């Protein structure tokens, strides 16, 4: 999950690096995407880990930018031990030598995990999903497909979308009638990309772009938008706070967030211990209870309460028609598609 608030996280990073430099070396620095997601991680992973092992954790947040990590690794002055990553960044960073190749024997049996959650340099923390969320008070009727997101007559009002090509183009194609299994095939062609942007043109004046995961619930609750793409966990947190927000699961796009260890991390041994701890089914279960993201440990899935399970991206009814984010595609195409998106958005 991408962004939180850039400036705030910059400050936090500066503070924590300062803190990490002056405090005892044994503290493990863990960087995540912040917000309610980080709060859930603190409850499920950080606090119990410190209690069990005595190792203190310095928790901080960032926006997913790889520049800082690259700069730290190249300068051989790494202050981060464990980093939460989205899949394309993990794959790219792994190839470019930013992340340690993980030794699974220090973490847990491979068979316990969803196979696609494991990669050379990363191990899945949870499954999250980008869904269509809407304000039930502001909308007459119930949207049932991405075509409804584009239907300005049936559902008048502004739409929120994540600023960037990733997911935005996929949803445009889905709304244009492309089948989920053909989305990335279509997007791989020039005509497919043009088709996606043409579809986006239809609602462009009505789009309010967001960058941080915490924004869509706010925009929806404040009535600034009537529908928005959103991370399912953030919407669930807002529901808990009593906001009347709803999720449409049809054709959601899911992906993993993973743990990675930057090359040259100062406390590698403790970093491994932490990842192993956070990958245990009982801890992942607590996490899913805090924020409805699905566990990557298969044993964890079995432990989850039925009420919670229905809200997870991994629930069978939510998985139906869902689209797995194609990491390989985005590793390859993010450069040119993001450029084209920027050009399109700025016009």
Partner 1 sequence: MTQYSATMPAPLDTAPEASLQSRLRRAERMNKLKYGALILPLAIFLMLTFVWPIAALLKRSVDNPEIITAFPQTSALLRGWNGQALPDDGVFAAFAGEMAQIKGTPVLAAAAKRLNMEVPGFRSLMMRTVRATPLEAGASAREVLIDADPRWGETATWQLLARNASPYTMRYLLASLDHKVNEQGKVVATSPEEAIFVDVLLRTFGMSFVVTVVCLLLGFPLAYFIATRPVKTANVLLMAVLLPFWTSILVRVAAWIVLLQSQGLVNQALMHLGITDHPLQLVFNSTGVYIAMVHILLPFMILPLYSVMKGISPVYMRAALSLGCPPFRSFWKIYFPQTLPGIGAGGLLVFILCMGYYITPSLLGSPNEQMASYFVAFYTNQTINWGMAAALSAILFVATLLLYAIYTRLVGSQNMAARAR
Sites of contact with partner 1 (CB under 8 A): 7, 63, 65-68, 70, 92, 95-97, 163, 194, 197, 208-209, 222, 224, 328, 331-336, 338-340, 342-347
Least CB distance to partner 1 at residue 188 (A):
8
| Nearer residue to partner 1 within complex by CB, 69 or 117 | 69
Least CB distance to partner 1 at residue 67 (A):
5
Distances (CA, A) of 8 to 12, 179, 259, 309: 6, 39, 22, 33
| Nearer residue to partner 1 within complex by CB, 159 or 273 | 159
DSSP code for 85:
E
Cα separation of 106 and 273, whole Å?
8
DSSP code for 126:
E
| Nearer residue to partner 1 within complex by CB, 197 or 293 | 197
Distances (CA, A) of 196 to 172, 183, 207, 219: 5, 10, 15, 25
Cα separation of 286 and 288, whole Å?
6
| Nearer residue to partner 1 within complex by CB, 137 or 305 | 137
Contact 300, 284 (CB under 8 A): yes
How many other C-beta atoms can be found within 10 angstroms of the C-beta atom of residue 8?
13
Least CB distance to partner 1 at residue 324 (A):
18
Least CB distance to partner 1 at residue 95 (A):
4
Least CB distance to partner 1 at residue 194 (A):
8
Contact 308, 124 (CB under 8 A): no
Distances (CA, A) of 65 to 71, 309, 324, 327: 11, 31, 22, 17
Sign of CA dihedral 300, 302, 303, 304: positive
Least CB distance to partner 1 at residue 190 (A):
10
Least CB distance to partner 1 at residue 304 (A):
35
Residue 133 three-state SS: strand
Least CB distance to partner 1 at residue 339 (A):
6
Least CB distance to partner 1 at residue 65 (A):
4
DSSP code for 44:
I
| Nearer residue to partner 1 within complex by CB, 273 or 333 | 333
| Nearer residue to partner 1 within complex by CB, 32 or 284 | 32
| Nearer residue to partner 1 within complex by CB, 68 or 234 | 68
Cα separation of 334 and 91, whole Å?
13
| Nearer residue to partner 1 within complex by CB, 113 or 210 | 210
Contact 137, 244 (CB under 8 A): yes
| Nearer residue to partner 1 within complex by CB, 32 or 288 | 32
Cα of 281 vs its chain's centroid, Å: 20
Residues 119/107/45/315 CA torsion (nearest 10 deg): 50
């Amino acid at each position: 999950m991408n962004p939180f608030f850039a400036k705030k996280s910059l400050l936090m990073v500066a503070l924590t690096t300062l803190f990490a430099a002056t405090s005892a070396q044994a503290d493990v620095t863990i960087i995540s995407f912040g917000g309610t997601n980080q709060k859930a991680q603190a409850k499920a992973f950080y606090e119990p880990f410190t209690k069990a092992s005595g190792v203190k954790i310095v928790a901080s947040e960032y926006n997913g930018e790889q520049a800082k990590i690259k700069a730290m690794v190249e300068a051989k002055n790494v202050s981060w031990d464990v980093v939460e990553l989205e899949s394309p960044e993990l794959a790219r960073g792994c190839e470019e030598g930013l992340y340690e190749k993980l030794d699974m024997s220090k973490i847990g049996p491979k068979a316990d995990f969803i196979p696609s959650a494991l990669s050379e340099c990363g191990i899945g923390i949870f499954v999250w999903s980008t869904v269509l969320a809407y304000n039930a008070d502001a909308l007459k009727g119930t949207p049932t497909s991405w075509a409804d997101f584009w239907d300005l007559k049936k559902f008048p009002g502004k739409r929120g979308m994540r600023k960037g090509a990733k997911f935005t183009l996929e949803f445009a194609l889905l709304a244009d009638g492309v089948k989920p299994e053909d989305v990335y095939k279509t997007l791989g062609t020039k005509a497919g990309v043009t088709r996606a942007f043409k579809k986006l043109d239809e609602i462009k004046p009505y789009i309010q772009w967001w960058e941080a995961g915490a924004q869509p619930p706010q925009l929806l609750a404040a009535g600034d938008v009537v529908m928005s793409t959103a991370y399912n966990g953030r919407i669930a947190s807002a529901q808990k706070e009593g906001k009347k927000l709803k999720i449409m699961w049809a054709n959601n796009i899911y992906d993993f967030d993973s743990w990675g260890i930057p090359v040259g991390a100062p406390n590698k041994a403790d970093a491994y211990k932490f990842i192993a701890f956070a990958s245990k089914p009982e801890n992942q279960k607590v996490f899913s209870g805090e924020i409805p993201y699905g566990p990557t440990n298969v044993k964890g899935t079995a432990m989850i309460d039925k009420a919670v399970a229905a809200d997870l991206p991994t629930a069978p009814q939510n998985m139906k028609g869902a689209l797995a984010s194609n990491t390989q595609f985005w590793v390859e195409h993010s450069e040119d598609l993001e450029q084209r998106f920027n050009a399109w958005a700025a016009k």
